C-alpha cells in the first residue's frame, strides 16, 4: 500500500488546498504516482469528472497538480450549502439529498466513514502516495466524535499529519500550540510537525519562535512558505477576495490593444463556480471585480451573472438591490451581459422550482426567451461544442432544465442582442472562444480592446501549479516530508496537555 500524509490546518483558508497541491506537484516531479484526497468537502465550487461525478474543484485542481485524472474517489463526500443550516449531500459524485447540519453531523456522517475510508484505501493501493487535505481545523472538538476528514481518517488510516498555519493573519504560534493541545493523546501521536504559510520578511526573525514552539510541543516546523502573489488557484473555502476587490489577487497585465476591458461580476447569494471568471482575469487588460450595487455596473463593459445554488434567492437579491433594473437597462441599451448556469436561469422569463427552493413558479428577469423547470435529477456532463466559430469545452452541474424559445443558439443556451446565457461552466477556459467572445464584448461596448493572441489559460494554470511545487521544494523540509509519507509519524512524539477526551 502506498504512503500517505494528511495536511491539516489551524483554520479554514490556512492554505491546506494549495499546500496539498504543491506537495502533489513536487512528488510527481520526483517520479512518484500521486493522488489527492479529501474525505469530505464543503464547497459551492465543484467540477465534473469524465465519468460524470461531481467533486470539489480544489480536488480537481490537486489532481491536475498530481498529473492524474480526477475521480470521485478523491472527494467521496461533497456538501453544497443551500442555506446557513442545510446542504445538499453529494456521495461518490451523485446527490443523495438535502440535510441539516445537525442531521449530517449525527448518525449520517458516521455512516459515511467506511465508504470514505474505502476510497482512501483504494487510492493508496493504486498510487505511491496519497496526499490528503483536512477540513477547517482538526481541533474542532465539538465535531470530533463524527469526524471523517481530519483526525478521524488520520487515526483510522495511520496517516502522519502536518498542520498548516497562515502567519499573515497573526497568532500562528498560538494556533499551532492550541491545535495540538486540544487533540486527544491518540490523535496527537500522529501530528508530526507544522508548516508556516504566507510569511513575509526575514525568516531569521521567526526562528526563535519556531525553536520555542519545538520545545513546547516536541514537534519541528517543516517549512516556512513565503507569501506568493497572484497564484489564482481554485479553492473551496470562500471568495478569497472582498467584494469590490480584484479577482484572486490577479495582476492585471497592460492591455494588448488601446483600452482595458472592465468586467463586473454580480456577487449573488450562494455563488457557485465563480472560478468561471478566472479565465477572464488572466487576459491582459481585463479587469474583473465582484460587485453588489447597481451603480457599480455603470462603467462595466461586461456584466457576468455567475452560477448559484439558489436561483430563486438570487432573483430576489437582484431585485432588492436594484441590480435587476440595472441589468434590464443594460440589455435595452445593447450592453453585454453573460449569464452562466444559475445566472443564465435568472435571465430567463420564468423559473419553476419545486426542488431547490420549492418556491414554485417565479418570474425571471425576462432578458432571454428561456423557461426553466427544476428536475430532481441533477445534470452532470462534460459537453463539447462550438460557438463564435471556435471549439468550446465545458462542464454542467444543474437541476434546472432550460426550454429555449428563441434567440440565437449559444452553447446549448441562447443569445439575444448583447445578452448571452449558457449552462456551461468553464467555457471561457477555451482560449479561442474566450478571445472571440471578448472581441464581441469590446465591439458592443465601443472599446478598443484587443485580446492578446498568445494567452493560454492552460499554460498559466500549469505555471501556477509549478510555482506551488517550487514553494514546497525550496522552502519545506522535503526529506522530512518524504520520510513521513513513506514511514508515518515518528514514535515517541510527546503529549501536549491538556488534550481532549
Q: Residues 453, 371: contact at Cβ < 8 Å?
A: no
Residue 388: which residues within 8 A CB-CB, separation 6 or more?
433, 436, 437, 440
Task: Give the DSSP H or E segment for 191.
Answer: strand 191-199
- The DSSP call for residue 342 is H
Q: Residues 276, 424: contact at Cβ < 8 Å?
A: no
Residue of 127, 398, 425, 475 marked active site: 425
Set of cell numbers at residue 204: 531569521
CA distance to 60, 233, 325, per residue, from 332 (Å): 39, 36, 11
Set of cell numbers at residue 115: 465508504
Give helix 207-217 / helix 172-181 axis angle, nearest 10°: 10
Task: Give the DSSP H or E segment for 433.
Answer: helix 431-445
Residue 129 bridge partners (DSSP): 3, 34
Strand 54-56 vs strand 46-48: parallel, antiparallel, or unpaired?
Answer: antiparallel
| Whether 341 is catalytic | yes
- CA angle 329-332-335, nearest 5°? 80
Burial of 491 (0-12, 13-18, 19+ CB in 10 A): exposed
Q: How many CB atoms lie within 10 A of CB 107?
A: 10
| Whether 266 is catalytic | no
Q: Residues 402, 344: contact at Cβ < 8 Å?
A: yes
Residue of 341, 398, 414, 475 marked active site: 341
Concatenated DSSP letters for 2-64?
Answer: -EEEEEEESSTTSSHHHHHHHHHHHHHHTT--EEEE-SEEE-S-EEE-TTS-EEEHHHHHHHH
Question: φ, ψ for residue 55 (rounded to 5)?
Answer: -135, 170
Alpha helices in 66-158 (DSSP H): 101-103, 109-111, 113-126, 151-157
Q: Residues 342, 398: contact at Cβ < 8 Å?
A: yes
Q: Residues 297, 273: contact at Cβ < 8 Å?
A: no
**Positions marked catalytic:** 341, 425
Amino acid at each position: 500500500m502506498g504512503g500517505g500524509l494528511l495536511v491539516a490546518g489551524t483554520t479554514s483558508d490556512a492554505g491546506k488546498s494549495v499546500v496539498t497541491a504543491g506537495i502533489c506537484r513536487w512528488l510527481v516531479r520526483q517520479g512518484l504516482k500521486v493522488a489527492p484526497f479529501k474525505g469530505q468537502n464543503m464547497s459551492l465550487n465543484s467540477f465534473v469528472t469524465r465519468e460524470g461525478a461531481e467533486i470539489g474543484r480544489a480536488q480537481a485542481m490537486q489532481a491536475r497538480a498530481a498529473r492524474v485524472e480526477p475521480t470521485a474517489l478523491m472527494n467521496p463526500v461533497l456538501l453544497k450549502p443551500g442555506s446557513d443550516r442545510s446542504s445538499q449531500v453529494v456521495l461518490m459524485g451523485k446527490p443523495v439529498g438535502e440535510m441539516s447540519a445537525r442531521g449530517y453531523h449525527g448518525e449520517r456522517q458516521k455512516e459515511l466513514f467506511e465508504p470514505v475510508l474505502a476510497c482512501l484505501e483504494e487510492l493508496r493501493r493504486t498510487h505511491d502516495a496519497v496526499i490528503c487535505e483536512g477540513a477547517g481545523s482538526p481541533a474542532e472538538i465539538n465535531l470530533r466524535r463524527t469526524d471523517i476528514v481530519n483526525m478521524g481518517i488520520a487515526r483510522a488510516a495511520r496517516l502522519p499529519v502536518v498542520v498548516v498555519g497562515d502567519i499573515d493573519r497573526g497568532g500562528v504560534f498560538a494556533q499551532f500550540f492550541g491545535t495540538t493541545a486540544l487533540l486527544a493523546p491518540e490523535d496527537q501521536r500522529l501530528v508530526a510537525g507544522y508548516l508556516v504559510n504566507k510569511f513575509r520578511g526575514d525568516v531569521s526573525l521567526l526562528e526563535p519562535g519556531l525553536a520555542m514552539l519545538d520545545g513546547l510541543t516536541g514537534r519541528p516546523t517543516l517549512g516556512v512558505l513565503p507569501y506568493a502573489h497572484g497564484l489564482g488557484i481554485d479553492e473551496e473555502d470562500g471568495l478569497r477576495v472582498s467584494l469590490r476587490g480584484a479577482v484572486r489577487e490577479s495582476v492585471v497585465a497592460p492591455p494588448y490593444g488601446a483600452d482595458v476591458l472592465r468586467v463586473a461580476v454580480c456577487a449573488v447569494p450562494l455563488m457557485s463556480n465563480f472560478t468561471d471568471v478566472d479565465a477572464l482575469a488572466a487576459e491582459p487588460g481585463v479587469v474583473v471585480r465582484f460587485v453588489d450595487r447597481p451603480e457599480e455596473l455603470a462603467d462595466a463593459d461586461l456584466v457576468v451573472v455567475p452560477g448559484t445554488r439558489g436561483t430563486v434567492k438570487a432573483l430576489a437579491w437582484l431585485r432588492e438591490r436594484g441590480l435587476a433594473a440595472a441589468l434590464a437597462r443594460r440589455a435595452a441599451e445593447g450592453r453585454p451581459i453573460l449569464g452562466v448556469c444559475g445566472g443564465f436561469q435568472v435571465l430567463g422569463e420564468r423559473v419553476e422550482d419545486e426542488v431547490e427552493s420549492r418556491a414554485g413558479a417565479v418570474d425571471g428577469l425576462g432578458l432571454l426567451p428561456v423557461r426553466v423547470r427544476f428536475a430532481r435529477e441533477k445534470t452532470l456532463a462534460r459537453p463539447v461544442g462550438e460557438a463564435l466559430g471556435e471549439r468550446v469545452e465545458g462542464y454542467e452541474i444543474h437541476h434546472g432544465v432550460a426550454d429555449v424559445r428563441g434567440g440565437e443558439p449559444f452553447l446549448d443556451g441562447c443569445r439575444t442582442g448583447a445578452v448571452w446565457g449558457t449552462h456551461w461552466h468553464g467555457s471561457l477556459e477555451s482560449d479561442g472562444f474566450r478571445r472571440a467572445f471578448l472581441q464581441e464584448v469590446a465591439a458592443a461596448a465601443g472599446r478598443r480592446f484587443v485580446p492578446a493572441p498568445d494567452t493560454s489559460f492552460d499554460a498559466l494554470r500549469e505555471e501556477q501549479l509549478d510555482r506551488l511545487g517550487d514553494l514546497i521544494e525550496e522552502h519545506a523540509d522535503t526529506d522530512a516530508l518524504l520520510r513521513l509519507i513513506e514511514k508515518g509519524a515518528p514514535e515517541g512524539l510527546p503529549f501536549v496537555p491538556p488534550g481532549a477526551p
